Amino acid sequence: MTGSVFRFAPSPNGELHLGHAYSALLNFDLACEAGGRFLLRIEDIDTTRCTPEFEAGIYRDLEWLGISWEEPVRRQSEHSADYAEALDRLIDEDLVYPAFMSRGDIRSHIADMEASGASWPRDPDGAPLYPALDKHLPQRERRRRMADGAPFAWRLDMEAAVERVGGGLFWREEGFGPAMETGEISARPAEWGDVVIARKETPTSYHLAVVVDDALQGVTNVVRGRDLFRATAVHRLLQELLGLPVPAYFHHDLVLGEDGRKLSKSRRDTGISALREAGMTPADIRRLVGLPPFTASA
Ligand code: GLU
């Protein structure tokens, strides 16, 4: 499989933990086995949470684990123009709209609706779907609010987007979903509602940046945690709308803590640097996450 391109795409908003180590090592091993390339991408669009210290920690921890990557590393914060271009295309095609409801507005709208007995639909992560009220605002009113400097997010008009691509949106799953789904997976993006594509002050959302970057970097194999399995439906939809190539997906097991819950970046005890300071070796980490000893000579 020469020509395969894998990537590990952490956000520098906390320290890497065992779950990240597993994902990075698995990507690296698969790239080596395939005689392919391994890329590192820094997903630092959220400038309020990402720091240079955490980014430096990522390089230090990955190097210590024995991973090497191609330079230059793509840092999302340096590529706003690429996301803006994709966003402009969606704006031109009327597939996104400026959404002005604040978090508080959304909460109270949903509370009102639920007070009358109906339960509000939730996305696969359990968050309430966006009440798409301002999808129907007249153009003039949109322009007026934007000119007045009102905060807004560009949201995907999910209904229009799904209609545009028609049925039959699939991806090839080489791992497993939460219900052990594998093989050809039928994507159901509509269950996410009108997702955020960009914000007034941030040129992109995770969903837009990930599909634009995977395409620009020629990524052929997306290997990442199972927590992103359902979000892949949104990525497939965006790829289709933007005419981007489709990688194969492999959603891997999550490394769980002793309490059986997903590891968090704020828990120091499973942080790679804490484990290193406690005397663990990279080989210990591989064993801990269930990977065989290093054989690759990359
Ligand atoms: N940046 C994402 C994270 O840290 C990973 C995105 C991806 O692999 O698609 O969870």
Domains of the chain, first to last: 1-78+267-298 (3.40.50.620)
Does pLDDT of 297 surpass 60?
no
Nearest CA to ligand 1 atom 4: 10
Q: Is 11 in the pocket of ligand 1 (CB under 6 A)?
A: yes
Between the CA of 220 and the centroid of ligand 1 the distance, in Å, is 16
Between the CA of 188 and the centroid of ligand 1 the distance, in Å, is 20
Nearest CA to ligand 1 atom 6: 9
**CB contact at 8 A, 220 and 3:** yes
Between the CA of 60 and the centroid of ligand 1 the distance, in Å, is 19
The tens digit of pLDDT for each residue in 98-146 reads 999 999 999 999 999 999 888 999 999 999 999 989 999 999 999 999 9
Q: What is the pLDDT of residue 132?
A: 86
Between the CA of 42 and the centroid of ligand 1 the distance, in Å, is 9
The tens digit of pLDDT for each residue in 216-241 reads 999 999 999 999 999 999 999 999 99
Q: Is 19 in the pocket of ligand 1 (CB under 6 A)?
A: no
Q: Is 41 in the pocket of ligand 1 (CB under 6 A)?
A: no
Tokens of 29: 């091993």
Strands 153-156 and 96-99: antiparallel
Does pLDDT of 298 surpass 50?
no
Question: Could you identify the atom of ligand 1 that is nearest to the CA of residue 214?
Answer: 9
268 closest CA partner among 13, 15, 58, 11:
15
Q: Which band of pLDDT confidence, cut at 50, 70 and 90, is reported for residue 250?
A: very high
Pairwise CA distance, residues 50 & 12, whole Å: 5
Residue with tokens 């980490």: 285
3-state helix, strand, coil in the chain (%, to 5): 40, 15, 40
Q: Is 228 in the pocket of ligand 1 (CB under 6 A)?
A: yes
Q: Which band of pLDDT confidence, cut at 50, 70 and 90, is reported for residue 200?
A: confident
Between the CA of 257 and the centroid of ligand 1 the distance, in Å, is 19
Between the CA of 203 and the centroid of ligand 1 the distance, in Å, is 18
Helices (H) and strands (E) in the chain, counts: 10, 10
**pTM for this predicted structure:** 0.94
